[in-house]
Amino acid sequence: MTTNPVTTIRNAGPGVATMIDAAIAAEDVPARVQVSRAKEAIANASARDIGRATGSVAGNVALTVAPGAALSKVSAVRALRNARPPVVHEPPQIGWVKENLGPEKPATRYNDAATGSRPGQAPTLTRTMPDGSKRPVKFDGVQGEYVIDRKLRVVNRPRGRAQLMRQSQALTQNRLIGIWEIPNEKEKIAALKMLRDANVTNIKVRVVKP
């Protein structure tokens, strides 16, 4: 054989892969069927199809290598079909509402000292209800991409649990993480238990002393 077998085999691979284009052109055909068709196309290829200059030895090697080319092509087709354009989300909007503070209490002073807070106002996230309506959910402060809610005392009762679920849902819808700031370790343990019982994972807890 006068032709270099390595060069011939290298050139034969793309040629065989081109031969099986028709066998795998239908993108909606399952991969296993595409591979089966590709193998059948290769099995039915003649020595002339693969290349006269290859000879019987190079031809046999090309037939051995060709299924890899077929599989590579199938993989490329599947990757193209499964590709999705990236989803672009609008940045979350932090609203501010006037807050009725009432008489000053220790809890009020603690909440007003949260990072990113504004005197007489509360930061809010929009919560979309099942009927499509939108309602604000209050917090106490904002730190970068975190929304802060301060709790001088954790109250694990229906009203407190309802507030927790409102905050968690608003955080999920706005793709944010919340932070509960608690004054001591005792309240932190109570907060972690409340979050765990409610299966809430998008609110973290940290101790911030008054």
User: Is the predicted pLDDT of residue 21 greater than 90, yes or no?
Assistant: no
Report angle CA 20, 23, 27 to the nearest 5 degrees: 120
Nearest-angstrom CA–CA distance, 67 and 21: 13
Helix (H) or strand (E) holding 146: strand 146-150
Tens of pLDDT, residues 32-44: 555 566 556 556 6
Nearest-angstrom CA–CA distance, 61 and 57: 6
Mean per-residue pLDDT, 42-71: 50
Residue 7: what pLDDT?
Answer: 45
Tokens of 134: 């939108």
Q: Quick check: pTM over 0.85? A: no
User: Is the predicted pLDDT of residue 116 greater than 90, yes or no?
Assistant: yes
User: Is the predicted pLDDT of residue 52 greater than 60, yes or no?
Assistant: no
Residues 6+ apart with CB under 8 A from 197: 156
Mean per-residue pLDDT, 186-204: 97
Residue 178: what pLDDT?
Answer: 97
